[in-house]
Amino acid sequence: MNARTFLEHAVIAIALAFAVAAVLGWSRIPRALSALLTILAGASIVGLIALVVNHVMFPFNLDLMESVVLQHARRAMHGQPIYPVPTPRFVPLAYNALLYIIAIPFLRIFGDTLQTLRVVSVIGLAGSVVAIFIIVREATRSAWWGVIATGLFCAAYPVMDAYLDTAHSDAWLLCCALWGTYLVSRESRNAHLAGILVLVAGFWFKQHGAVFAGTALLYLTWREGIRASLVY
């Protein structure tokens, strides 16, 4: 068992123990477990930051497709077609183009390298972390639970196959899904419209975003009626 697996198992075990202690009313144990959970959540956050820094600075491919994604971003930066007719020299990937487009200013300023493209992904990862903290804090009215949720998300980094800090669009898809869903859940129609736009942006990062955008449209139609939801 490696250190990360041990940490994940420890978090689950302590969370269960915390729930049992809370039910049984053991006054001191919940406080101690709260402190331990906070420490573990903080360790997960710090551990992920260290891992992300290590991955971003890695000089070679973290997976087989990173260099191909960089090719697409370079074509976008130079104003070349992103999806030309396939040739032996270049075959475009079947992914949507928003990652390549938002990466253009970063590539121009910091250089068209894998490290720069990974930084763009890390910004999406950071957006997801902030979204989770805010969503859980508002739902529980507790910043502590927001920190715990953030720590659990960081501890679950391997669940996403370690793709959230590579030169891929996964981090931005997740970021758009979280923020879009959060905005759609608000009371304001302006927030609903903004949420739909964010979810549509998620689709342009990766096709899977259509699931989130379509579900949000169905939810708003059910909640507000067909006529009122036509604006979306």
In this predicted structure, what is the pLDDT of residue 230? 77
Q: In the prediction, which pLDDT does 201 show?
A: 97
Residues 6+ apart with CB under 8 A from 6: none
Give SS3 for 101: helix
**For residue 18, what pLDDT is reported?**
64
Say what the pLDDT of residue 163 is: 81
Supply the DSSP string of 136-201, one letter for each residue. Answer: HHHHHT-HHHHHHHHHHHHHTGGGGTT-TTSSSSHHHHHHHHHHHHHHHTSS-HHHHHHHHHHHHH
Rounded distance between C-alpha atoms, residue 111 and residue 100, angstroms:
14
- Mind listing the pLDDT tens digit for each residue in 16-57? 666 666 665 555 666 667 777 888 888 889 989 999 999 999
Q: What is the pTM of this model?
A: 0.85
Under-50 pLDDT residues of the chain:
1
